[in-house]
Amino acid sequence: MILTGVLRHYASVLMAAGPKKVDAKTMKEQRGLFRGVNLRNNYHVLSGPSFRARRDNITTAYETGAYLKEPTGSGQPAPNPMTDPNAMEGMMGAMKNNMAMIIPNTLIMSWINAFFSGYVIMKLPFPLTIKFKSMLQAGVMTKDMDPRWMSSISWYFLCMFGLQSVFNFLLGRDAASQMTQQMSGMNQQNANPFGPGQDPNKQFTAEAENLAVIEHYSVLDDVEDRLLAGINN
């Protein structure tokens, strides 16, 4: 049982695609948008003229599509994510991971079923109420057996859930069993702001509008008054 866990870990490590290389244009597109977002959030550190200069610069760049990966593609309907090879690869990665989990699991399950079904394996050293029957005597269809008897398949399940910490100990913190969940969470976070099927051009124009409606103030406006007031108090 432990061996299968270890094997599964290495299988998923092997199949996991490394961080995908981003080409300059994609990076430009993503970070160009971040630049606008940053400017929108932190405009107050700038003085009035320098903010306006930046805003004009960025909005014209957004509107003319200078940051777009494919300038010609702007305005067209969003491409089908299935046709974009990059998106395909991302999906395949997720799929591969799932497959790596599913195939051994089904194999092991059928093997376990054939092997462990139908007999009791141990007697627990303490009495239990009748409710525990379903948990401890799976696969044994005996109605009036004492719940202290434990069927082998239940024992297998209990062990499998309990082995998590053993895997952590053997394989290090990022054991495969935990990793899949964390990885799916992480991918979402540092992935690009453009989900599949969204038109970057639209996001850029929306950001340009956001920038255009900013009413500028500067954090420097009355800073010396604030400072003097703070000292005098």
Partner 1 sequence: MSASLFQPPGELSPAEALHLSQQAPSVLKSNPASIRSAPLLALFSAKDTPDLWTKYENLLLSCLRTGDEPSARQCLERIANRFGADNERVMALIGLVKEAECQNDRALDEVLKEYNKILTNNNTNIPIAKRRIALLRSIGRTSDAVSSLNTLLDFSPTDSEAWSELSDIYLGQGMYAQAIFALEEVLVLAPNAWNMHARLGEVLYMAATTTQAAESPAQKYLAEALKRFCRSIELCDDYLRGYYGLKLVTSHILKTPPKPSKQSDEDRFSLPDDAKLKALDEMATTKLAEIIRRNSAGEGGWKGYSKSEIEAARKLLDQDNNRVR
Binding site for partner 1 (CB under 8 A): 6, 21-25, 27-28, 31-32, 34-35, 38-39, 41-50, 54, 169-172, 218-220, 223-228, 230-231
Residue in the structure block whose two tokens are 């010609």: 72
CB-count exposure of residue 218 (10 Å: 0-12, 13-18, 19+): middle
DSSP string across 51-106: HHHHHHHHHHHHHHTTT-SSGGGTTSPPPPTTT-HHHHHHHHHHHHHHHHHHHHHH
CB atoms within 10 A of CB 36: 24
Taking the C-alpha atoms of residue 233 and residue 231, their distance in angstroms, rounded to an integer, is 6
39 alpha carbon, distance to own chain's centre:
27
Closest CA to 211 of 31, 70, 66, 57: 57
Q: Tell me how far, at minimum, the Cβ of 120 lies from partner 1, in Å.
A: 33
Which residue number, 205 or 218, has a Cβ lying nearer to partner 1?
Answer: 218
Q: Tell me how far, at minimum, the Cβ of 23 lies from partner 1, in Å.
A: 6
Which residue number, 23 or 144, has a Cβ lying nearer to partner 1?
Answer: 23
Q: Tell me how far, at minimum, the Cβ of 222 lies from partner 1, in Å.
A: 9
Q: Tell me how far, at minimum, the Cβ of 21 lies from partner 1, in Å.
A: 7
Which residue number, 47 or 60, has a Cβ lying nearer to partner 1?
Answer: 47
Alpha helical stretches, state H, the chain: 2-15, 24-42, 48-64, 85-116, 133-136, 152-162, 164-171, 176-190, 200-212, 223-232
Q: Tell me how far, at minimum, the Cβ of 140 lies from partner 1, in Å.
A: 35
Taking the C-alpha atoms of residue 62 and residue 81, their distance in angstroms, rounded to an integer, is 23
Which residue number, 39 or 120, has a Cβ lying nearer to partner 1?
Answer: 39
Q: Tell me how far, at minimum, the Cβ of 232 lies from partner 1, in Å.
A: 9
Which residue number, 36 or 100, has a Cβ lying nearer to partner 1?
Answer: 36
Which residue number, 44 or 202, has a Cβ lying nearer to partner 1?
Answer: 44
